[in-house]
Homo-oligomer: A and B are copies of this chain.
Amino acid sequence: MNRLELYRSLAIPNTTKILLIVMDGLGGLPQVPDGPTELEAAHTPHLDALAARSICGLSTPIAAGVTPGSGPGHVSLFGYDPLAYEVGRGVLEALGIGFELQRNDVAARGNFCTVDPESGHITDRRAGRIPTELGARLVQKLRAIQIPGIEIFVEPVKEYRFVLVLRGEDLYDGLTETDPQRTGVPPLPVEPTRPEAARTAALFNQWLAEARKLLADEHPANSCNLRGLAKIPDLPSLEELYGLRCGAIATYPMYRGIARLAGMDVLPTGDTIASEIETLREHWDDYDFYFFHVKKTDSMGEDGNFAGKVQVIEEFDGYLPAILDLEPDVILISGDHSTPALWKAHSWHELPVLLWSRYVRPDSVRLFGERPCMAGGLGHVRHVDLIPLALAHAGRLTKFGA
């Protein structure tokens, strides 16, 4: 019996409500030796008071030393083994622009690039990072390509990036990328890595041939590559697994998309934490489980903006009382991965995690921060174990064995 089968077999319904709050990129590092992390520097009286009544710890998203992308970071937070359920780059890119992928679609991330017209060798893998407007015009041009028997979607993303989705019967993933990851060589063909994907590979190659004809006179984006050709992972929904009706509240399309992969209903909301709180309040009677996503902690970390990240954390802290007023039965607060301002990117560091319910065994942690969490009662846990812990504290897992 694997993990998911175990938990599925133990799941029982009740009327409790679980709230998972994901502060994207929450984990940080001291900006100066011996200094505080972003979370430690932030003035967070409400998080600290909650931590004092909670059990805290540090959590590894994927495995020791592994830096998660947003896909795997959330997949594991939602309790799925991130190595068993990979989210391809094409899928993430499609989710990121709010494209509603269907189960049989194959999505690819497209990159406009520059090739030498004589040799066909790539001279710039990103076509000089063309402006977004130019990328959008080129996408418009590529929409003319038609292939009988399948539907084709081409969508602009940003600068040199676009999304290509093929929709139709009997499309398979298991396809190689065309970007050779270096210049001075020609693009590669899409090749099937398993026999049933042969036709899908041929369709992508046919599309590429026509796309390159249409782009030939453009400059500098006279060609394109496809990366991360993938279908959506076949995640059993949290409702299927645990009987949880789930609502997702996130300001960015990618996180709404990942939530949809796990079978969550995506609730319409605005651009701010305030509007997300409002959405949560409005829908508080509708679901058993809420995924509440705060994006800007990550953005500030990526920008190397320590003070900005501190400010986003403090802003969220200000809304915590409004959340507690809703009286969830279980609150879980963590992040999908660390994004220390010092590192300016996602990192491998563990995430501080806080679990509250009436039934937690409280520890000595009185401040919500990375160093205090090192001494937390949860110890060192893994992201995939957080949902099971939340379910247990919500009384939603029955006894194993007699």
Contacts and interface: CB of A to CB of B under 8 A. Distances in A.
Interface of A: 1, 3, 6-7, 10, 29-30, 33-34, 37, 53, 58, 62-72, 82-83, 86-89, 92-93, 109, 228, 340, 342-343, 345-350, 359, 361-364, 370-371, 374-377, 379-381, 385, 388-393, 397-402
10 contacts: A1-B83, A7-B65, A30-B362, A65-B392, A92-B401, A340-B359, A347-B359, A361-B371, A363-B374, A374-B375
Contact of A89 (B69, B345, B402): B402
A263 to B, nearest CB: 20
A350 B381 CA distance: 13
A350 B379 CA distance: 11
Nearest to A379: B380
Nearest to A92: B402
A65 B359 contact: no
B342 A359 contact: yes
* Interface of A: prevailing SS: loop
Given A3-B63, A71-B402, 6 more contacts: A58-B379, A65-B390, A67-B397, A68-B399, A228-B402, A340-B359
Central interface residue in A3, A53, A346, A402, by most chain B CB within 10 Å? A402
A104 B187 CA distance: 41
Given A6-B63, A343-B359, A371-B364, A68 B388 contact: no
A83 to B, nearest CB: 5
A391 B346 contact: no
Contact of A362 (B34, B228, B377): B34
A196 to B, nearest CB: 21
Contacts of A359: 29, 340, 342-343, 347
Contacts of A58: 377, 379
A350 B370 CA distance: 22
Contacts of A362: 30, 33-34, 371
A392 B66 contact: yes
Central interface residue in A66, A88, A340, A397, by most chain B CB within 10 Å? A66
Contact of A398 (B67, B228, B375, B401): B67
A375 B376 CA distance: 9
A402 B336 CA distance: 13
Given A359-B29, A379-B374, A401 B63 contact: no
Contacts of A393: 65
